[in-house]
Amino acid sequence: MKRYADLLAAAQARVRELMPWEVAARLQRPDAPLLLDVREPAEFAQARIAGSVNVPRGVLEAACEWDYDDTEPALAGGRERPIVVVCRSGQRSLLAADLMTAMGFADVVSMKTGVRGWNDAELPLVEASGDRVDPDRAQALLAARVRADQRRPQAAVRPAVQADAAGPASRP
């Protein structure tokens, strides 16, 4: 059974990643890539890189093709165009870039560290209105929020650790 970490590791072996400052430099060029943000619309509205296009990860496959409700013309017609995929931390974008490559997109990369890394590099973010987001506010908006109920139960970890610590003599 593959876990999320396994899927990420496999994608990382196939997908090129760029750091935020490398993406910023590419965006200044005349042949700037399409910047595709695969976060959910509410995340995108709070803090995003100016000029990015939002296609949530959940509808990406349909957005890449013509004739669907979720079709994004910039994607469906841009299989040869350079594309940089971004998300909050660089994980969803890695999987999305891997998928897009499998769908035949010629030049797709993922931005390592995501929008959080962009903000950490002191690069500007904007909100839905186009107003600049204060970097400290952006940091709070982009922080990981793993609740207690989302953490691995300790009981599931403890028996294996206790058995290993007890040594082979205590095993049946």
CATH domain 4-144 topology? Oxidized Rhodanese; domain 1 (3.40.250)
Backbone angles phi, psi at 44, to 5 degrees: -60, -40
Arithmetic mean of pLDDT, 92-107? 98
Q: What pLDDT does residue 166 have?
A: 45
Burial 46-62 (b: 16+ CB within 10 A, else e): bbbbeebbbbbbeebeb
Reported as a single tens digit per residue, the pLDDT across 3-55 is: 999 999 999 999 999 999 999 999 999 999 999 999 999 999 999 999 999 99
Q: What pLDDT does residue 154 have?
A: 84
Domain ranges (residues) in the chain: 4-144
pTM: 0.87
CA–CA distance, 73 with 171 (Å, rounded to integer) = 61
Whether residue 157 is predicted with pLDDT greater than 80 in this model: the reply is no
CA-CA distances (angstroms) from residue 158 to 152, 162, 163? 11, 6, 9
Residue 157 in tokens: 């970890």
Q: What pLDDT does residue 168 have?
A: 45
